[in-house]
Chain A
Amino acid sequence: MIADRTAATTLLASVASFSYHGDPGPALRGVEVVASPGTLTAVLGGSGSGKSTLGRILGAWLLGGRDGTLVGSLQLEVAGHPAGSGPLRFAGAQDDPRIDPGAWARHVGYVPQDAASMLSAVRGTVEEELAFSLENRGVPRGEMVQTVADIARRTGLDGFLHRDPATLSGGELRRLAVGCAVVDGPGVLILDEPLESLDQAGIRTIVELVRSELARGTAIVVLSQHADALTRAAERWLVLKDGQETAAGPPARILQGGVLAESGVVVASPEVIIPSANRKPEVDPMPAPPPVLTLPVVEAAAGATAIGTKPALELAGVAFGFGGRSRSSPTEDSLLLEDVDLQVVPGEIVAITGPNGAGKSTLLRLLNGLHRPFRGDVRVADESIAGVPTGLVARRLGLLFQRPHDQLFERSVLREVLFGLHPIFGTAAAERAKAALAAVGLGDSGHAHPHELPASGQRLLALATVLAREPSVLALDEPTVALDAHGLERLTAAVSAAAGRGAAVVMVTHDLRFAAAHAHRLLRLEGGRLRQF
């Protein structure tokens, strides 16, 4: 049944226009993509450029008719299947052809930007999740077991087969999502921001996987807002802005022009890594940060106490772990954080890095009391937060969550920022909310639904909810993820402004360049302790 795995497949898409139901204008116009066997194509664009919409049309997650009005054509040419390879033409009419997403996915695998949305939610282990689409196709069990083992090896999930998918870290989850897409042996693979929020090891695994899929003859399309090592390895780039193609051709040519800067694509280091080459890839896909702004650097941040400045945030001997039921008797070997000390003075920016699953996000959740330490003390603005409800700590400490999805819950962008502002600012709350939205460039989107914003907009909205409260400590979890070049500029400006008015900033990030450019100190969390990087 899967004898024709990775049969040479070409996907030709021509989207004259695509409009979501209820939207005034099209999200895409005049975009053409050709994905040929064994080639890597990168679709680059800033936030809201239409990349994800294009990816979901190619993967048949968005269907003309059901989800919007599609005018154009889609064509699959599968080697050995001359029949049925004619183009499917869509005129936005009732009698347009209908794609069966399940059948389409056997040839075109799509991995969404939010890897968690790939999961079925009814499978208890990684191996069962990997087998889900094979079960639905009636693949015999013996064959299924073999395929799952093979995919697990190729995605580096061997050691995770019996884990509950809900307990995987961000990087592991993305590998599982890719595994779920390639398990059907599609000839075309569409990857939306595949390197996002991965640590170096995770990036290596995904790049390695892309390499081996290309070698097998898979046609790969990567959608990204980073001109990084992975996308630079593409034969062809397609640059989108406002749903339209602004440039197309070989990367070298496009890099010379000014189109990229305008589009909001983050341009990273120039080292080019050819995935199909035999040498080990020297992956450095970190986005280059915008030019460093002059920050009001606090004199000798590390020796703050010596010069008499009281720390805005102080952690002393903090230990924490999951699994221990009683706070009074933590089990020493289950500790995620063993002995964390940290002092951040007003106006200081501290960046914390470390591998996926080291406990970085957990550390930030200890700062406002969402988690409580087993041992040690957390002090915000020179007061211990022990026994203080999170809602009260939140007056002085603002936390940006790792996933905007977890932070946003209101019906409109403006309501989202207004939540909880009235007790602090009274009648000035609405003004504060609008100012915070303007600061992140969402001034005109007040009435939109947070879920309607592109990933970058959602991240900036979450940032606005933190900024609007003007906390004396900002705790930011992966603030650069999903941001395009314009978004990074806004983030840089916001962090600089906050530090400038005397706020202490602690950010957790995998983006070493951003950290090196904007933080006064860079720390590494590993083995339950914080160390100088």
Chain B
Amino acid sequence: MAARLNPLTAMTAAAAVLAITTAASSWAVSLTVAVGAVLLSAAAGIVRRVLLAAATIVVPFWLSLLVIHGLFFPEGRTVLASWGPARVTAEGLTFALEMGLRTAAFVLVLMVFSFSVRIPELVAALVARRVPPQVGYVLASTLLLAPLVAARLGTVRQAQESRGLVVGRGIGSRVAAIRLQMVPLVLGLVHDAGIRAQSLDARGFRSTGPRTSYTEVHDSAAQATFRVFAILLALTAVGWRIVESLPAGSLSAFSQFVGGPG
């Protein structure tokens, strides 16, 4: 199924879902999107990778949300507990929950997209639409950065373990291991990137002439229609959200600007 889908369709769908989720700003919508993303990844057989990758990003973020908004939320009125300047308020916790869910939905949708899209096809689809190939390369290498960094980190860890580094289960031991691995990781990636630049130059990557694409990207009228529909839907949601948040008096003045898509 994923193979027949134009990567631009998948990208448009992901972007539209993200825009609508933000515009809706409701925990129920965020939860629905998050659950939907998990179900989709399960159907595509990538649920394990998606959840693992999403968790590494979302969990630290949740913890910081809990500390910042759970303990210090100036607008909070319903105080549940307090220690000196720190006050746990119901409003703060609600805000943290909403933000946390929305972030989770965001990250999950992006992970499903980046794990399911075939990056060469995405680059090919962009080149076909006259997007500069350098932009395509940056996009592709960004999407490929996570696996690249993970692979390099894996080799550094194996090299260090083979020379006596024991990573224990304790958090202290893990932090110490991360400290030992960061400098080699960054230096290794920079070194590899320098070599890669020479190879890309020699393979004509900087050439300014017209380019072609080896990879053929599937597309159809139905997919093109879907993309237009998804963009319109997202614009409507954003427009509606802006109108909704305006004070009542300014609505008449604003409606002329959002009249188009809305």
A interface residues (Cβ-Cβ under 8 A, vs B): 56, 59-62, 100-106, 110, 112, 114, 117-125, 127-128, 131-141, 144-145, 148, 180, 368, 370, 389-392, 394-395, 398-399, 401, 406-411, 419-420, 423-424, 451, 465, 469
Decide if B163 touches A136 in the complex (CB within 8 Å).
no
Known: A409-B188, A451-B191. A137 touches B204 (CB 8 A): yes
A sample of 14 more A-B contacts (CB under 8 A), given A61-B201, A398-B162, A406-B158, is A61-B198, A102-B207, A105-B203, A105-B204, A120-B205, A124-B120, A132-B203, A140-B212, A370-B158, A370-B161, A394-B164, A401-B159, A420-B160, A420-B163
**Which one of B137-145, B218-226, B233-241 is at the interface?**
B137-145
Contact A389 B207 (CB under 8 A): no
Partner among B159, B196, B204 whose Cβ is within 8 Å of the Cβ of A408: B159
A119, B202: Cα distance in complex, Å: 11
Chain B's closest residue to A56 (CB) is: B198
B78 at the interface (CB under 8 A from A): no
Determine the distance from Cα of A104 to Cα of B214 in the docked complex, in whole angstroms: 22
- Of residues 138 to 182 in B, which have CB atoms within 8 Å of A's CB atoms? 140-141, 144, 148, 155-156, 158-167
**Nearest CB in chain A to that of B210: its residue:** A138
- Asked if A135 and B211 sit within 8 Å, CB to CB, the answer is yes
Q: In the complex where A102-B205, A122-B141, A141-B213 touch, is A394 in contact with B162 (Cβ < 8 A)? A: yes
A390 engages B162 (CB within 8 Å) = yes
Given contacts A102-B207, A122-B137, A409-B184, A135 and B162 within 8 Å (CB-CB): no
B162 neighbours in A (Cβ, 8 Å): 368, 370, 390, 394, 398-399, 401, 407
Q: Is the CB of B166 within 8 A of A138?
A: no
Cβ-closest chain B residue relative to A395? B164
- 16 CB contacts below 8 A, A to B, read A61-B199, A101-B206, A103-B204, A104-B202, A106-B204, A117-B192, A120-B203, A121-B148, A122-B120, A133-B203, A133-B204, A138-B211, A368-B162, A370-B162, A389-B167, A390-B161
- 7 shortest A-B CB distances, which residue pairs? A391-B166, A409-B184, A420-B164, A102-B204, A131-B214, A136-B204, A420-B163
Cα-based distance from A190 to B183 in the complex (angstroms) = 35
Kindly list chain A residues whose C-beta atoms are within 8 Å of the C-beta of B212: 134-135, 138-141, 144
**CA of A498 to CA of B183, assembled, Å:** 32
* Chain B residues in 8 Å Cβ range of A127: 214
| Interfacial chain A residues near B213, Cβ < 8 Å | 135, 141
B60 at the interface (CB under 8 A from A): no
Q: Which residue of A lies closest to B155 (CB)?
A: A406
Please tell me if the beta carbons of B203 and A128 are within 8 angstroms of each other in the complex. Answer: no
* Chain B residues, CB < 8 A from A137: 204, 207, 209, 211
A101 touches B211 (CB 8 A): no
Q: Are A391 and B204 in contact (CB under 8 A)?
A: no
Q: Is chain B's binding surface mostly helix, strand, loop or mixed?
A: helix
Cα distance A131–B191 in the bound complex, in angstroms: 25
Beta-carbon nearest neighbor of A423 in chain B: B164
Enumerate chain B residues within 8 angstroms of A409, measured Cβ to Cβ: 156, 159-160, 184, 187-188
Residues of B contacting A118 in the complex (Cβ-Cβ under 8 angstroms) = 199
In the docked arrangement, what's the CA distance between A134 and B203, Å? 8
CA distance in complex: A293, B112 (Å): 60
B64 within 8 A of A: no
Q: Which residues of A contact B206 (CB under 8 A)?
A: 100-102
Cα of A407 to Cα of B161 in the assembled complex, Å: 11
- Are A391 and B155 CB-contacts (below 8 A) given A101-B202, A139-B212? no
Asked if residues A389 and B166 are in contact (CB atoms below 8 Å), the reply is: yes
A110 touches B202 (CB 8 A): yes
A101 to B198: give the CA distance in the assembly, Å: 8
Given the interface contacts A120-B199, A370-B162, does A145 sit within 8 Å of B214 by beta carbon? Answer: yes
**Contact call A411/B120, Cβ cutoff below 8 A:** no
Do B160 and A122 have beta carbons less than 8 Å apart? no
Bound-state CA distance A439–B118 (Å) is 49
Q: Please indicate the chain A residues that have their CB under 8 angstroms from the CB of B120 in the complex.
A: 122-125, 128
Please, which residue of chain A has its CB at the minimum distance from the CB of B188? Answer: A409
- Alpha-carbon distance between A120 and B120 when the two chains are bound, in angstroms: 11
Across the interface, do A392 and B166 meet the contact criterion of CB distance under 8 Å?
A: yes
* Interface residue? B255 (CB, 8 A): no
Confirm or deny: B58 has a beta carbon within 8 angstroms of a beta carbon on chain A: no
B residues 234-253 near A (Cβ < 8 Å) are none
The distance from the CB of B156 to the nearest CB of chain A, in whole angstroms, is: 5
Q: How far is the CA of A292 from the CA of B86 in the complex (A)?
A: 76
Q: Quick one: closest A residue to B159, CB to CB?
A: A407
Residues of chain A contacted by B183 (CB below 8 angstroms): 411
What residues on B are CB-neighbors of A180 within 8 Å?
203
Bound form: Cα–Cα A122–B119 in Å: 7
Q: How far is the CB of A421 from chain B (nearest CB, A)?
A: 8
A132 to B216, CA, bound (A): 14
Which residue of chain B lies nearest to A62 when distances are taken between CB atoms in the complex? B198
Residue of A nearest to B181 (CB): A409
B16 within 8 A of A: no
Chain A's nearest CB lies how many Å from the CB of B163? 4
- Mask, B91-131, CB within 8 Å of A = 1, is 00000000000000000000000000011100100000000
Contact between A419 and B214, CB atoms less than 8 A apart: no
The contact of B214 among A134, A391, A469, by CB within 8 Å, is A134
A237 to chain B, nearest CB (A): 26
Do residues A141 and B214 form an inter-chain contact, with CB atoms below 8 A?
A: yes
User: CA–CA, A79 to B183, complex, Å?
Assistant: 50
Which residue from A60, A148, A368, A399 sits with its C-beta under 8 Å from B202? A60
A451 to B162, CA, bound (A): 20
Known contacts A135-B214, A406-B159, A410-B184; is-contact A124 B199 (Cβ 8 Å) = no
Pair A391/B140 contact, Cβ less than 8 Å:
no
A118 to B195, CA, bound (A): 9
Which B residues are in CB contact (< 8 Å) with A469? 163-164
Contact among B187, B198, B203 for A411, CB-based, below 8 A:
B187
Contact A102:B184 (CB < 8 A) given known A137-B207, A368-B162, A465-B163 = no
**A137 and chain B: residue at smallest CB distance:** B204
Looking at the complex, which one of A117, A140, A406, A411 makes contact with B199 (CB distance below 8 Å)? A117
Closest to B198 in A: A61
The docked-state distance in angstroms from the alpha carbon of A132 to that of B156 is 30
Distance of A59 Cα from B204 Cα, bound (Å): 13
CB distance from A106 to the nearest CB of B (A): 8
Residues on the B chain within 8 Å of A407, using CB:
159, 162
Whether the pair A391, B119 counts as a contact (CB closer than 8 A) is no
A465 nearest CB neighbor, chain B only: B163
CB distance from B125 to the nearest CB of A (A): 13
Residues of A within 8 A of B80 (CB): none
B215 CB-CB contact with A under 8 Å? yes
Contact A117 B119 (CB under 8 A): no
